[in-house]
Amino acid sequence: MQKKIALITGVTGQDGAYLSEFLLKKGYIVHGVKRRSSLFNTDRIDHLYQDPHVENQNFILHYGDLTDSTNLIRILKEVQPDEIYNLAAMSHVHVSFEMPEYTANADGIGTLRLLEAIRILGLEKKTRIYQASTSELYGKVQEVPQTETTPFYPRSPYAVAKMYAYWITVNYREAYGMYACNGILFNHESPIRGETFVTRKITRATSKIALGLQDKIYLGNLDAQRDWGHAKDYIRMMWMILQADEAEDWVIATGKTTTVRDFIKMCFNHVGIELEFKGEGSNERGYIKSCSQPEYQIEIGKEVISVDEKYFRPTEVELLIGDATKAREKLGWIPKYDLPALVEDMMSSDVRLMQKQQYLKDGGYRIKNYFE
Ligand code: NDP
Ligand code: GDR
Give pLDDT, residue 150.
98
Residues of the chain with confidence (pLDDT) below 50: none
Phi, psi angles (nearest 5°) of residue 30: -110, 125
Give pLDDT, residue 29.
98
Ligand nearest to the CA of 223: 2
pLDDT digits (tens, 9 = 90+) for 89-144: 999 999 999 999 999 999 999 999 999 999 999 999 999 999 999 999 999 999 99
Residue 318 Cα: closest atom of ligand 2:
28
Using alpha carbons, list the distances in angstroms from residue 309 to 99, 139, 196, 223, 281. 19, 20, 16, 13, 9
Q: Cβ of 160: how many Cβ atoms within 10 Å?
A: 20
Give pLDDT, residue 364.
82
Cβ 342 vs Cβ 230: under 8 Å: yes
Q: 3-state class of 335 per DSSP?
A: coil
Closest among 133, 130, 124, 132 to 178, alpha carbons compared: 124
Residue 37 Cα: closest atom of ligand 1:
47
Given 158, 172, 234, 337, the catalytic residue: 158
Cβ 319 vs Cβ 257: under 8 Å: yes
Of all protein residues, whose CA lies closest to atom 19 belonging to ligand 1?
65
Answer whether the bond into residue 191 is a cis peptide, omega within 30°. Answer: no
Distance 67 CA to ligand 2 centre (A): 24
Given 12, 18, 111, 136, the catalytic residue: 136
Distance 83 CA to ligand 1 centre (A): 18
Ligand 1 mutation pick, 8, 15, 69, max ligand atoms within 8 A of CB: 15
Phi, psi angles (nearest 5°) of residue 292: -90, 5
Ligand 2 mutation pick, 103, 225, 226, max ligand atoms within 8 A of CB: 226
| Residues with a CB atom less than 6 Å from ligand 2 | 91, 93-94, 134-136, 186-187, 196-198, 201, 219-221, 224, 226, 260, 311, 313, 316-317
Ligand nearest to the CA of 205: 2
Structural domains present in the chain: 5-185 (3.40.50.720), 198-224+259-316+339-362 (3.90.25.10)
Burial class (CB in 10 A: 0-12, 13-18, 19+), 316: middle
Distance 271 CA to ligand 2 centre (A): 23
What's the complex ipTM? 0.99
Active site residue 136: yes
Give per-residue burial for 125-143: e unless 16+ CB within 10 Å, then b: eebbbbbbbbbbbbbeeee
Active site residue 158: yes
Distance 168 CA to ligand 2 centre (A): 25
Distance 316 CA to ligand 2 centre (A): 10
